[in-house]
Chain A
Amino acid sequence: MANIKQTPIRESFAKRYRARFGHLPWFKRYECLIPLSIIILLIGFLLLPPLGKPTPLQWLWIGVFLILLILWVVGILTDIEKPRWIRAIAAISFVFVLGFFFYRYSGAQWDKLTTNFFNLSVMEGLWGDLGQGLLMTLKVALVSMCISLVLGLVIAILRSLNNPILNVFLIIYIDFFRAIPLIVLVVFVFYALPFLGIELDPYISAVVAVSLSYAAYVAEVIRAGIESIYRGQVEASRALGLSSMQTMRLVILPQAVRVVIPPTTGLMVGLLKDTALTTIIGLPELLYKGIQNTIWQSNPTPLVAAAVLYIIVLLPLTRFSGYLETRSKKWVKTAR
Protein backbone atom coordinates (compact mmCIF):
# COMPACT_ATOMS: atom_id res chain seq x y z
CA MET A 1 0.00 0.00 0.00
CA ALA A 2 2.75 2.37 1.04
CA ASN A 3 4.24 2.29 -2.41
CA ILE A 4 1.23 3.60 -4.19
CA LYS A 5 1.71 6.91 -2.47
CA GLN A 6 5.10 7.13 -4.10
CA THR A 7 3.57 7.46 -7.58
CA PRO A 8 4.27 10.91 -9.10
CA ILE A 9 3.97 13.36 -6.28
CA ARG A 10 2.70 16.54 -7.87
CA GLU A 11 -0.52 15.21 -9.32
CA SER A 12 -3.91 16.77 -8.75
CA PHE A 13 -6.14 15.16 -6.15
CA ALA A 14 -8.65 14.12 -8.81
CA LYS A 15 -5.98 12.37 -10.79
CA ARG A 16 -4.58 10.60 -7.77
CA TYR A 17 -8.07 9.60 -6.75
CA ARG A 18 -8.82 8.22 -10.17
CA ALA A 19 -5.60 6.25 -10.25
CA ARG A 20 -6.45 4.75 -6.89
CA PHE A 21 -10.15 3.98 -7.29
CA GLY A 22 -10.90 4.38 -11.00
CA HIS A 23 -10.98 0.67 -11.69
CA LEU A 24 -13.93 0.14 -9.36
CA PRO A 25 -17.47 -0.19 -10.73
CA TRP A 26 -19.73 2.75 -9.87
CA PHE A 27 -21.51 1.25 -6.90
CA LYS A 28 -18.24 0.60 -5.11
CA ARG A 29 -16.88 4.13 -5.51
CA TYR A 30 -16.86 6.65 -2.73
CA GLU A 31 -18.59 9.27 -4.88
CA CYS A 32 -21.57 6.92 -4.97
CA LEU A 33 -21.32 5.51 -1.46
CA ILE A 34 -21.06 8.79 0.44
CA PRO A 35 -24.20 10.43 -1.04
CA LEU A 36 -25.94 7.10 -0.65
CA SER A 37 -25.13 7.04 3.06
CA ILE A 38 -26.57 10.52 3.43
CA ILE A 39 -29.77 9.63 1.58
CA ILE A 40 -30.17 6.49 3.66
CA LEU A 41 -29.70 8.41 6.89
CA LEU A 42 -32.21 11.08 5.76
CA ILE A 43 -34.85 8.48 4.88
CA GLY A 44 -34.14 6.69 8.11
CA PHE A 45 -34.62 9.71 10.33
CA LEU A 46 -37.31 11.62 8.46
CA LEU A 47 -39.53 9.15 6.66
CA LEU A 48 -39.56 5.89 8.57
CA PRO A 49 -42.57 5.42 10.83
CA PRO A 50 -42.29 4.95 14.58
CA LEU A 51 -43.05 1.73 16.45
CA GLY A 52 -46.23 -0.02 15.41
CA LYS A 53 -47.95 -1.26 12.30
CA PRO A 54 -46.90 0.87 9.29
CA THR A 55 -49.29 2.12 6.60
CA PRO A 56 -48.78 0.96 2.99
CA LEU A 57 -46.94 4.18 2.11
CA GLN A 58 -44.68 3.68 5.09
CA TRP A 59 -44.06 0.10 3.99
CA LEU A 60 -42.97 1.54 0.65
CA TRP A 61 -40.43 3.76 2.38
CA ILE A 62 -39.20 0.83 4.43
CA GLY A 63 -38.72 -1.10 1.20
CA VAL A 64 -36.83 1.75 -0.49
CA PHE A 65 -34.71 2.14 2.60
CA LEU A 66 -33.84 -1.55 2.65
CA ILE A 67 -32.99 -1.69 -1.04
CA LEU A 68 -30.69 1.32 -0.78
CA LEU A 69 -29.14 -0.14 2.33
CA ILE A 70 -28.45 -3.43 0.60
CA LEU A 71 -26.86 -1.61 -2.36
CA TRP A 72 -24.71 0.32 0.08
CA VAL A 73 -23.67 -2.78 2.02
CA VAL A 74 -22.93 -4.78 -1.11
CA GLY A 75 -20.90 -1.87 -2.54
CA ILE A 76 -18.75 -1.85 0.54
CA LEU A 77 -18.46 -5.51 1.37
CA THR A 78 -17.71 -6.79 -2.14
CA ASP A 79 -14.63 -4.58 -2.28
CA ILE A 80 -11.82 -6.07 -0.26
CA GLU A 81 -9.78 -2.88 -0.64
CA LYS A 82 -12.13 -0.88 1.57
CA PRO A 83 -10.57 -0.27 4.98
CA ARG A 84 -11.54 -2.76 7.59
CA TRP A 85 -13.34 -0.28 9.82
CA ILE A 86 -15.67 0.79 7.01
CA ARG A 87 -16.51 -2.84 6.26
CA ALA A 88 -17.16 -3.52 9.93
CA ILE A 89 -19.45 -0.50 10.21
CA ALA A 90 -21.35 -1.59 7.09
CA ALA A 91 -21.84 -5.14 8.34
CA ILE A 92 -22.84 -4.13 11.85
CA SER A 93 -25.27 -1.46 10.74
CA PHE A 94 -26.85 -3.89 8.27
CA VAL A 95 -27.50 -6.50 10.94
CA PHE A 96 -28.54 -3.81 13.40
CA VAL A 97 -31.06 -2.29 10.99
CA LEU A 98 -32.61 -5.68 10.25
CA GLY A 99 -32.95 -6.39 13.97
CA PHE A 100 -34.28 -2.91 14.61
CA PHE A 101 -36.89 -3.23 11.86
CA PHE A 102 -38.05 -6.51 13.31
CA TYR A 103 -38.27 -4.85 16.69
CA ARG A 104 -40.24 -1.91 15.35
CA TYR A 105 -42.52 -3.22 12.66
CA SER A 106 -43.26 -6.86 13.52
CA GLY A 107 -46.18 -5.67 15.63
CA ALA A 108 -44.85 -7.43 18.70
CA GLN A 109 -45.62 -5.97 22.10
CA TRP A 110 -42.17 -6.06 23.57
CA ASP A 111 -43.31 -4.95 26.99
CA LYS A 112 -44.88 -8.39 27.30
CA LEU A 113 -41.62 -10.15 26.60
CA THR A 114 -40.63 -10.64 30.22
CA THR A 115 -44.09 -11.37 31.57
CA ASN A 116 -45.13 -13.72 28.77
CA PHE A 117 -41.99 -15.22 27.35
CA PHE A 118 -39.36 -15.29 30.01
CA ASN A 119 -41.44 -15.31 33.14
CA LEU A 120 -39.31 -17.09 35.68
CA SER A 121 -41.99 -16.98 38.35
CA VAL A 122 -44.21 -19.13 36.13
CA MET A 123 -41.42 -21.62 35.86
CA GLU A 124 -41.22 -22.07 39.60
CA GLY A 125 -41.81 -25.71 40.39
CA LEU A 126 -41.99 -26.57 36.70
CA TRP A 127 -38.28 -27.14 36.12
CA GLY A 128 -38.52 -30.61 37.64
CA ASP A 129 -41.38 -31.47 35.34
CA LEU A 130 -39.50 -30.23 32.27
CA GLY A 131 -36.43 -32.12 33.47
CA GLN A 132 -38.46 -35.30 33.53
CA GLY A 133 -39.59 -34.53 30.02
CA LEU A 134 -36.00 -34.10 28.96
CA LEU A 135 -35.11 -37.41 30.56
CA MET A 136 -37.93 -39.09 28.64
CA THR A 137 -36.68 -37.49 25.42
CA LEU A 138 -33.17 -38.78 26.07
CA LYS A 139 -34.46 -42.23 27.02
CA VAL A 140 -36.51 -42.63 23.86
CA ALA A 141 -33.62 -41.30 21.81
CA LEU A 142 -31.00 -43.58 23.35
CA VAL A 143 -33.11 -46.72 23.10
CA SER A 144 -34.08 -45.92 19.51
CA MET A 145 -30.46 -45.17 18.64
CA CYS A 146 -29.32 -48.56 19.86
CA ILE A 147 -32.09 -50.42 18.06
CA SER A 148 -31.77 -48.49 14.82
CA LEU A 149 -27.99 -48.86 14.73
CA VAL A 150 -28.14 -52.62 15.22
CA LEU A 151 -31.06 -53.08 12.83
CA GLY A 152 -29.46 -50.79 10.26
CA LEU A 153 -26.18 -52.65 10.49
CA VAL A 154 -27.93 -56.00 9.99
CA ILE A 155 -29.80 -54.65 6.97
CA ALA A 156 -26.63 -53.17 5.50
CA ILE A 157 -24.74 -56.41 5.93
CA LEU A 158 -27.59 -58.38 4.37
CA ARG A 159 -27.58 -55.93 1.48
CA SER A 160 -23.85 -56.23 0.99
CA LEU A 161 -24.43 -59.95 0.36
CA ASN A 162 -25.92 -58.82 -2.94
CA ASN A 163 -28.56 -61.51 -3.06
CA PRO A 164 -31.14 -60.40 -5.62
CA ILE A 165 -34.13 -61.96 -3.84
CA LEU A 166 -33.21 -60.60 -0.43
CA ASN A 167 -32.41 -57.23 -1.94
CA VAL A 168 -35.95 -56.81 -3.22
CA PHE A 169 -37.30 -57.01 0.31
CA LEU A 170 -34.54 -54.91 1.82
CA ILE A 171 -34.99 -52.17 -0.77
CA ILE A 172 -38.73 -52.18 -0.16
CA TYR A 173 -38.07 -51.78 3.55
CA ILE A 174 -35.57 -48.98 3.04
CA ASP A 175 -37.63 -47.11 0.47
CA PHE A 176 -40.79 -47.41 2.52
CA PHE A 177 -39.36 -46.13 5.75
CA ARG A 178 -37.30 -43.40 4.16
CA ALA A 179 -40.20 -42.10 2.13
CA ILE A 180 -42.83 -42.01 4.86
CA PRO A 181 -42.74 -38.89 7.07
CA LEU A 182 -41.78 -39.96 10.57
CA ILE A 183 -44.72 -38.20 12.16
CA VAL A 184 -47.09 -40.16 9.92
CA LEU A 185 -45.40 -43.36 11.02
CA VAL A 186 -45.69 -42.39 14.68
CA VAL A 187 -49.38 -41.64 14.28
CA PHE A 188 -49.89 -44.83 12.33
CA VAL A 189 -48.28 -47.05 14.94
CA PHE A 190 -50.13 -45.45 17.82
CA TYR A 191 -53.56 -44.76 16.33
CA ALA A 192 -54.01 -47.31 13.55
CA LEU A 193 -52.39 -50.50 14.81
CA PRO A 194 -54.76 -50.86 17.80
CA PHE A 195 -57.55 -51.49 15.30
CA LEU A 196 -55.64 -54.63 14.37
CA GLY A 197 -55.34 -55.63 17.99
CA ILE A 198 -51.76 -54.41 18.33
CA GLU A 199 -51.93 -51.99 21.22
CA LEU A 200 -48.69 -50.31 22.18
CA ASP A 201 -48.28 -47.61 24.79
CA PRO A 202 -46.91 -44.22 23.63
CA TYR A 203 -43.38 -45.02 24.74
CA ILE A 204 -43.19 -48.31 22.84
CA SER A 205 -44.92 -46.77 19.81
CA ALA A 206 -42.39 -43.95 19.75
CA VAL A 207 -39.44 -46.31 20.01
CA VAL A 208 -40.84 -48.63 17.35
CA ALA A 209 -41.60 -45.86 14.87
CA VAL A 210 -38.35 -43.95 15.36
CA SER A 211 -36.21 -47.10 15.29
CA LEU A 212 -37.80 -48.57 12.18
CA SER A 213 -37.47 -45.30 10.33
CA TYR A 214 -33.91 -44.53 11.33
CA ALA A 215 -32.75 -48.12 10.75
CA ALA A 216 -33.49 -47.53 7.07
CA TYR A 217 -31.34 -44.38 7.01
CA VAL A 218 -28.54 -46.04 8.95
CA ALA A 219 -28.58 -49.00 6.58
CA GLU A 220 -28.15 -46.72 3.58
CA VAL A 221 -25.33 -44.79 5.17
CA ILE A 222 -23.42 -47.92 6.14
CA ARG A 223 -23.91 -49.50 2.74
CA ALA A 224 -22.60 -46.37 1.05
CA GLY A 225 -19.61 -46.49 3.40
CA ILE A 226 -18.79 -50.07 2.50
CA GLU A 227 -19.24 -49.37 -1.20
CA SER A 228 -17.07 -46.28 -1.05
CA ILE A 229 -14.00 -48.36 -0.35
CA TYR A 230 -12.06 -48.35 -3.52
CA ARG A 231 -11.83 -51.77 -5.16
CA GLY A 232 -8.07 -51.37 -5.50
CA GLN A 233 -7.91 -51.69 -1.73
CA VAL A 234 -9.30 -55.21 -1.85
CA GLU A 235 -6.98 -56.17 -4.65
CA ALA A 236 -3.99 -54.72 -2.85
CA SER A 237 -4.78 -56.63 0.34
CA ARG A 238 -5.34 -59.81 -1.61
CA ALA A 239 -2.01 -59.33 -3.32
CA LEU A 240 -0.41 -59.05 0.11
CA GLY A 241 -1.85 -62.44 0.94
CA LEU A 242 -4.52 -61.31 3.41
CA SER A 243 -7.51 -63.63 3.68
CA SER A 244 -10.97 -62.26 2.97
CA MET A 245 -11.69 -62.03 6.68
CA GLN A 246 -8.42 -60.23 7.28
CA THR A 247 -9.12 -57.89 4.39
CA MET A 248 -12.47 -57.09 5.92
CA ARG A 249 -11.07 -56.65 9.42
CA LEU A 250 -7.81 -54.87 8.69
CA VAL A 251 -8.51 -52.90 5.53
CA ILE A 252 -12.18 -52.46 4.67
CA LEU A 253 -13.76 -51.97 8.10
CA PRO A 254 -11.29 -49.42 9.48
CA GLN A 255 -11.79 -47.30 6.38
CA ALA A 256 -15.53 -47.87 6.22
CA VAL A 257 -15.91 -46.89 9.86
CA ARG A 258 -14.10 -43.62 9.23
CA VAL A 259 -16.34 -42.93 6.27
CA VAL A 260 -19.52 -43.95 8.08
CA ILE A 261 -19.11 -42.32 11.48
CA PRO A 262 -19.70 -38.67 10.47
CA PRO A 263 -22.98 -39.20 8.59
CA THR A 264 -24.17 -41.66 11.24
CA THR A 265 -23.50 -39.11 13.95
CA GLY A 266 -25.53 -36.63 11.92
CA LEU A 267 -28.36 -39.16 11.71
CA MET A 268 -28.31 -39.75 15.45
CA VAL A 269 -28.52 -36.03 16.14
CA GLY A 270 -31.46 -35.94 13.74
CA LEU A 271 -33.02 -38.82 15.65
CA LEU A 272 -32.75 -36.93 18.92
CA LYS A 273 -34.38 -33.93 17.25
CA ASP A 274 -37.15 -36.06 15.80
CA THR A 275 -38.16 -37.50 19.15
CA ALA A 276 -40.01 -34.19 19.60
CA LEU A 277 -42.50 -35.49 17.00
CA THR A 278 -43.76 -38.09 19.46
CA THR A 279 -45.52 -35.28 21.29
CA ILE A 280 -48.39 -35.91 18.91
CA ILE A 281 -49.16 -39.26 20.56
CA GLY A 282 -48.96 -37.80 24.06
CA LEU A 283 -45.61 -39.19 25.07
CA PRO A 284 -44.56 -37.05 28.07
CA GLU A 285 -41.26 -35.88 26.62
CA LEU A 286 -39.80 -32.40 26.70
CA LEU A 287 -41.97 -30.67 24.11
CA TYR A 288 -45.13 -32.29 25.48
CA LYS A 289 -44.30 -31.03 28.97
CA GLY A 290 -43.67 -27.57 27.56
CA ILE A 291 -47.03 -27.51 25.80
CA GLN A 292 -48.96 -28.98 28.74
CA ASN A 293 -47.57 -26.48 31.19
CA THR A 294 -48.14 -23.65 28.73
CA ILE A 295 -51.80 -24.59 28.61
CA TRP A 296 -52.12 -24.95 32.39
CA GLN A 297 -50.35 -21.70 33.13
CA SER A 298 -51.84 -19.77 30.20
CA ASN A 299 -48.33 -18.50 29.71
CA PRO A 300 -45.88 -19.75 27.05
CA THR A 301 -42.80 -19.54 29.25
CA PRO A 302 -42.64 -23.34 29.71
CA LEU A 303 -42.72 -23.80 25.94
CA VAL A 304 -39.96 -21.24 25.53
CA ALA A 305 -37.99 -22.98 28.26
CA ALA A 306 -38.42 -26.31 26.50
CA ALA A 307 -37.18 -24.75 23.26
CA VAL A 308 -34.16 -23.35 25.08
CA LEU A 309 -33.43 -26.77 26.55
CA TYR A 310 -33.64 -28.31 23.08
CA ILE A 311 -31.17 -25.73 21.79
CA ILE A 312 -28.80 -26.29 24.71
CA VAL A 313 -28.74 -30.01 24.07
CA LEU A 314 -28.83 -30.00 20.28
CA LEU A 315 -26.64 -27.07 19.29
CA PRO A 316 -23.35 -28.57 20.47
CA LEU A 317 -24.32 -31.90 18.93
CA THR A 318 -25.17 -30.31 15.57
CA ARG A 319 -21.90 -28.44 15.61
CA PHE A 320 -20.01 -31.57 16.53
CA SER A 321 -21.52 -33.64 13.72
CA GLY A 322 -20.90 -30.82 11.25
CA TYR A 323 -17.30 -30.70 12.41
CA LEU A 324 -16.92 -34.45 11.91
CA GLU A 325 -18.36 -34.16 8.45
CA THR A 326 -16.06 -31.37 7.24
CA ARG A 327 -13.11 -33.17 8.73
CA SER A 328 -13.97 -36.40 6.98
CA LYS A 329 -14.35 -34.54 3.70
CA LYS A 330 -10.86 -33.23 4.07
CA TRP A 331 -9.65 -36.69 4.86
CA VAL A 332 -11.33 -38.16 1.81
CA LYS A 333 -9.80 -35.43 -0.33
CA THR A 334 -6.27 -36.09 0.86
CA ALA A 335 -6.81 -39.80 0.53
CA ARG A 336 -7.53 -39.46 -3.17
Chain B
Amino acid sequence: MGEDRALMIEVINLHKYFKDHHVLKGLNQKVYKSEVVAMIGPSGAGKSTFLRCLNRLEEPSLGKILIEGTDITATRTDINKVRTEIGMVFQSFNLFPHLTALQNIKLAPINVRRMSEKDAEERGRQLLKKVGLQEKANAYPDQLSGGQQQRVAIARALAMQPHMIFFDEPTSALDPEMIREVLDVMDNLAKEGMTMLVVSHEIGFIREAATRILVLADGCIIEEGTPNEVLKHPQHSRTQDFLSKIV
Protein backbone atom coordinates (compact mmCIF):
# COMPACT_ATOMS: atom_id res chain seq x y z
CA MET B 1 0.00 0.00 0.00
CA GLY B 2 0.97 3.59 -0.38
CA GLU B 3 3.86 2.95 -2.77
CA ASP B 4 2.99 6.17 -4.60
CA ARG B 5 3.67 8.23 -1.50
CA ALA B 6 7.02 9.49 -0.28
CA LEU B 7 9.12 7.02 1.68
CA MET B 8 9.66 8.51 5.12
CA ILE B 9 11.49 5.81 7.07
CA GLU B 10 13.40 2.83 5.81
CA VAL B 11 14.94 0.39 8.25
CA ILE B 12 17.28 -2.26 6.91
CA ASN B 13 18.43 -5.17 9.06
CA LEU B 14 18.49 -3.22 12.31
CA HIS B 15 20.20 -4.90 15.23
CA LYS B 16 20.64 -3.56 18.72
CA TYR B 17 22.69 -4.98 21.53
CA PHE B 18 22.89 -3.86 25.13
CA LYS B 19 26.20 -5.44 26.06
CA ASP B 20 25.44 -9.08 25.23
CA HIS B 21 21.70 -8.68 25.33
CA HIS B 22 20.36 -8.93 21.79
CA VAL B 23 17.30 -6.68 21.90
CA LEU B 24 16.50 -6.01 18.23
CA LYS B 25 17.12 -8.89 15.87
CA GLY B 26 17.29 -7.62 12.33
CA LEU B 27 14.24 -5.47 11.74
CA ASN B 28 13.22 -4.38 8.24
CA GLN B 29 10.50 -1.83 7.75
CA LYS B 30 9.28 0.91 5.45
CA VAL B 31 6.99 3.74 6.51
CA TYR B 32 5.38 6.03 3.95
CA LYS B 33 4.06 9.54 4.30
CA SER B 34 0.83 9.95 6.29
CA GLU B 35 0.91 6.41 7.57
CA VAL B 36 -0.06 5.83 11.19
CA VAL B 37 1.84 2.77 12.29
CA ALA B 38 0.88 1.26 15.62
CA MET B 39 3.31 -1.00 17.44
CA ILE B 40 2.11 -3.47 20.00
CA GLY B 41 3.76 -6.29 21.84
CA PRO B 42 4.63 -7.51 25.30
CA SER B 43 6.75 -5.46 27.65
CA GLY B 44 10.45 -5.88 26.92
CA ALA B 45 9.80 -6.76 23.29
CA GLY B 46 11.98 -3.86 22.15
CA LYS B 47 9.33 -1.38 21.00
CA SER B 48 10.84 1.57 22.81
CA THR B 49 14.33 0.59 21.75
CA PHE B 50 13.19 0.46 18.13
CA LEU B 51 11.65 3.93 18.27
CA ARG B 52 14.67 5.36 20.05
CA CYS B 53 17.03 3.92 17.47
CA LEU B 54 15.13 5.76 14.78
CA ASN B 55 16.27 9.14 16.12
CA ARG B 56 19.45 7.77 17.60
CA LEU B 57 18.56 8.23 21.23
CA GLU B 58 20.04 4.74 21.18
CA GLU B 59 22.94 3.97 18.88
CA PRO B 60 21.97 1.16 16.49
CA SER B 61 24.56 -1.63 16.67
CA LEU B 62 24.21 -2.76 13.09
CA GLY B 63 22.05 -2.01 10.07
CA LYS B 64 20.87 1.02 8.22
CA ILE B 65 18.22 3.60 9.00
CA LEU B 66 17.15 6.05 6.31
CA ILE B 67 15.02 8.97 7.37
CA GLU B 68 13.61 10.70 4.29
CA GLY B 69 16.48 9.22 2.33
CA THR B 70 19.22 10.33 4.74
CA ASP B 71 21.25 7.55 6.28
CA ILE B 72 21.28 8.55 9.94
CA THR B 73 23.74 5.84 10.89
CA ALA B 74 26.37 7.42 8.64
CA THR B 75 29.00 9.37 10.54
CA ARG B 76 28.75 12.50 8.46
CA THR B 77 25.07 12.96 9.14
CA ASP B 78 24.19 15.76 11.55
CA ILE B 79 21.83 13.88 13.80
CA ASN B 80 20.50 17.04 15.42
CA LYS B 81 19.25 18.19 12.05
CA VAL B 82 17.44 14.91 11.51
CA ARG B 83 15.98 15.07 14.99
CA THR B 84 14.35 18.39 14.24
CA GLU B 85 12.28 16.59 11.63
CA ILE B 86 11.15 13.97 14.13
CA GLY B 87 8.89 14.85 17.02
CA MET B 88 9.00 12.58 20.03
CA VAL B 89 6.46 12.16 22.81
CA PHE B 90 7.48 10.19 25.89
CA GLN B 91 5.55 8.11 28.34
CA SER B 92 6.69 10.30 31.22
CA PHE B 93 6.06 13.61 29.37
CA ASN B 94 9.54 14.93 30.17
CA LEU B 95 8.41 18.54 30.18
CA PHE B 96 11.05 20.94 31.47
CA PRO B 97 9.83 21.72 35.00
CA HIS B 98 11.58 25.10 35.20
CA LEU B 99 9.74 26.48 32.17
CA THR B 100 6.06 27.36 31.65
CA ALA B 101 3.98 25.47 29.09
CA LEU B 102 4.54 28.19 26.51
CA GLN B 103 8.27 28.42 27.25
CA ASN B 104 8.55 24.66 26.89
CA ILE B 105 7.07 24.96 23.42
CA LYS B 106 9.16 27.98 22.39
CA LEU B 107 12.51 26.62 23.56
CA ALA B 108 13.46 24.50 20.56
CA PRO B 109 12.08 26.73 17.78
CA ILE B 110 14.07 29.67 19.15
CA ASN B 111 17.30 27.84 19.92
CA VAL B 112 17.36 25.24 17.16
CA ARG B 113 15.30 26.73 14.36
CA ARG B 114 16.47 30.26 15.21
CA MET B 115 12.90 31.45 14.98
CA SER B 116 12.26 34.97 16.26
CA GLU B 117 10.84 35.32 19.75
CA LYS B 118 7.64 36.82 18.33
CA ASP B 119 7.01 34.12 15.75
CA ALA B 120 7.73 31.39 18.26
CA GLU B 121 5.35 32.97 20.74
CA GLU B 122 2.61 33.18 18.14
CA ARG B 123 3.18 29.63 16.99
CA GLY B 124 3.26 28.40 20.57
CA ARG B 125 -0.09 29.96 21.34
CA GLN B 126 -1.60 28.50 18.17
CA LEU B 127 -0.41 25.05 19.16
CA LEU B 128 -1.69 25.40 22.70
CA LYS B 129 -5.03 26.30 21.23
CA LYS B 130 -4.86 23.29 18.99
CA VAL B 131 -4.39 20.98 21.97
CA GLY B 132 -7.04 22.87 23.90
CA LEU B 133 -4.82 24.53 26.48
CA GLN B 134 -4.64 28.17 25.42
CA GLU B 135 -5.47 29.36 28.93
CA LYS B 136 -2.62 27.31 30.47
CA ALA B 137 0.17 29.09 28.60
CA ASN B 138 1.80 30.43 31.74
CA ALA B 139 1.28 27.40 33.96
CA TYR B 140 4.29 25.40 35.09
CA PRO B 141 4.25 21.66 34.45
CA ASP B 142 3.67 20.86 38.11
CA GLN B 143 0.49 22.92 37.98
CA LEU B 144 -0.93 20.79 35.16
CA SER B 145 -2.64 17.42 35.27
CA GLY B 146 -0.99 14.48 33.53
CA GLY B 147 -3.24 14.71 30.50
CA GLN B 148 -2.56 18.41 30.17
CA GLN B 149 1.16 17.84 30.49
CA GLN B 150 1.11 15.26 27.76
CA ARG B 151 -0.83 17.59 25.47
CA VAL B 152 1.75 20.30 26.09
CA ALA B 153 4.44 17.73 25.25
CA ILE B 154 2.70 17.02 21.95
CA ALA B 155 2.46 20.73 21.22
CA ARG B 156 6.16 21.02 22.02
CA ALA B 157 6.95 18.30 19.49
CA LEU B 158 4.70 19.95 16.88
CA ALA B 159 6.37 23.32 17.35
CA MET B 160 9.36 22.14 15.35
CA GLN B 161 7.03 21.40 12.42
CA PRO B 162 8.33 17.85 12.25
CA HIS B 163 7.66 15.60 9.29
CA MET B 164 6.83 12.70 11.57
CA ILE B 165 6.08 12.09 15.23
CA PHE B 166 6.93 9.13 17.43
CA PHE B 167 4.78 8.33 20.43
CA ASP B 168 6.14 5.95 23.07
CA GLU B 169 3.19 4.82 25.20
CA PRO B 170 1.90 8.38 25.51
CA THR B 171 -1.12 7.45 27.63
CA SER B 172 0.11 4.67 29.87
CA ALA B 173 1.07 7.03 32.70
CA LEU B 174 -2.36 8.67 32.64
CA ASP B 175 -5.58 8.18 34.56
CA PRO B 176 -8.40 6.79 32.40
CA GLU B 177 -10.33 10.04 32.17
CA MET B 178 -7.29 11.84 30.82
CA ILE B 179 -6.43 9.28 28.17
CA ARG B 180 -9.28 10.41 25.96
CA GLU B 181 -8.12 14.03 25.73
CA VAL B 182 -4.66 12.94 24.61
CA LEU B 183 -5.96 10.37 22.13
CA ASP B 184 -8.27 13.02 20.64
CA VAL B 185 -5.31 15.23 19.92
CA MET B 186 -3.47 12.31 18.33
CA ASP B 187 -6.54 11.38 16.32
CA ASN B 188 -6.72 14.88 14.87
CA LEU B 189 -3.07 14.75 13.95
CA ALA B 190 -3.61 11.47 12.11
CA LYS B 191 -6.52 13.00 10.21
CA GLU B 192 -4.32 15.92 9.18
CA GLY B 193 -2.01 13.44 7.51
CA MET B 194 0.87 13.42 9.95
CA THR B 195 3.19 10.45 9.71
CA MET B 196 3.06 8.74 13.08
CA LEU B 197 4.70 5.81 14.81
CA VAL B 198 2.78 4.94 17.93
CA VAL B 199 3.58 2.45 20.64
CA SER B 200 0.28 2.07 22.40
CA HIS B 201 -2.07 -0.51 23.77
CA GLU B 202 -5.21 1.59 23.33
CA ILE B 203 -6.98 -0.84 21.02
CA GLY B 204 -9.86 1.54 20.32
CA PHE B 205 -7.51 4.23 19.12
CA ILE B 206 -5.49 1.79 17.04
CA ARG B 207 -8.57 0.39 15.34
CA GLU B 208 -9.76 3.89 14.41
CA ALA B 209 -6.61 5.74 13.57
CA ALA B 210 -3.90 3.26 12.63
CA THR B 211 -3.29 2.31 9.02
CA ARG B 212 -1.02 -0.55 9.95
CA ILE B 213 -0.08 -2.59 13.00
CA LEU B 214 3.31 -4.11 13.81
CA VAL B 215 3.47 -6.79 16.46
CA LEU B 216 6.85 -7.08 18.15
CA ALA B 217 8.02 -9.91 20.34
CA ASP B 218 11.54 -10.70 21.44
CA GLY B 219 13.07 -8.17 19.11
CA CYS B 220 11.36 -9.46 15.96
CA ILE B 221 8.32 -8.25 14.03
CA ILE B 222 6.22 -11.36 14.28
CA GLU B 223 3.18 -10.03 12.52
CA GLU B 224 2.15 -7.07 10.41
CA GLY B 225 -1.04 -5.90 8.72
CA THR B 226 -4.05 -3.61 8.80
CA PRO B 227 -5.87 -3.26 12.12
CA ASN B 228 -8.68 -5.33 10.70
CA GLU B 229 -6.42 -8.24 9.82
CA VAL B 230 -4.31 -8.23 12.94
CA LEU B 231 -6.95 -7.49 15.54
CA LYS B 232 -9.70 -9.68 14.12
CA HIS B 233 -7.70 -12.55 12.69
CA PRO B 234 -4.31 -12.73 14.33
CA GLN B 235 -2.19 -15.39 12.68
CA HIS B 236 0.68 -15.84 15.12
CA SER B 237 -0.10 -17.65 18.34
CA ARG B 238 1.83 -15.10 20.41
CA THR B 239 -0.23 -12.31 18.92
CA GLN B 240 -3.44 -14.13 19.83
CA ASP B 241 -2.08 -14.68 23.29
CA PHE B 242 -1.08 -11.05 23.71
CA LEU B 243 -4.34 -9.65 22.36
CA SER B 244 -6.40 -11.86 24.62
CA LYS B 245 -4.55 -10.37 27.58
CA ILE B 246 -5.01 -6.71 26.77
CA VAL B 247 -8.52 -6.63 25.35
By a beta-carbon cutoff of 8 Å, the part of chain A in contact with chain B is 1, 3-4, 6-7, 18-19, 22-23
Contact = CB atoms under 8 A, between A and B. Distances in A.
Most chain B beta-carbon contacts within 10 A, residue among A1, A6, A23: A23
A18 B62 CA distance: 15
Tier of interface size on chain B: under 10
B75 interface: yes
Contact of A23 (B15, B17, B62, B75): B75
Given A3-B15, A6-B62, A22-B75, 11 more contacts: A1-B17, A3-B17, A3-B61, A3-B62, A4-B61, A4-B62, A7-B62, A18-B75, A19-B75, A22-B76, A23-B75
Interface string B9-49: 00000010100000000000000000000000000000000
B158 to A, nearest CB: 29
Dominant secondary structure at the A interface:
helix
Contacts of A4: 61-62
14 contacts: A1-B17, A3-B15, A3-B17, A3-B61, A3-B62, A4-B61, A4-B62, A6-B62, A7-B62, A18-B75, A19-B75, A22-B75, A22-B76, A23-B75
Contacts of A22: 75-76
Nearest to B61: A3
Interface of B: 15, 17, 61-62, 75-76
A3 to B, nearest CB: 4
Contacts of B75: 18-19, 22-23
Nearest to A18: B75
B146 to A, nearest CB: 15
A209 to B, nearest CB: 43
A6 B26 CA distance: 14
A19 B15 CA distance: 16
Contacts of B17: 1, 3
Q: Would you list the 10 A-B pairs with minimal beta carbon distance, nearest first? A: A22-B75, A3-B62, A3-B61, A23-B75, A18-B75, A3-B15, A19-B75, A4-B62, A4-B61, A3-B17
B34 to A, nearest CB: 32
Nearest to B73: A19
A18 B15 CA distance: 20
A61 B228 CA distance: 74
B19 to A, nearest CB: 9
Nearest to B62: A3
A79 to B, nearest CB: 13
A316 B62 CA distance: 49
A146 B239 CA distance: 66
Nearest to B76: A22
A3 B15 CA distance: 9
A3 B61 CA distance: 7
Contacts of A6: 62
Nearest to A7: B62
Contacts of B76: 22
A20 B15 CA distance: 16
B156 to A, nearest CB: 26
Nearest to B59: A23
A16 to B, nearest CB: 11
Nearest to A15: B75
A7 B64 CA distance: 11
Contacts of A1: 17
A18 to B, nearest CB: 6
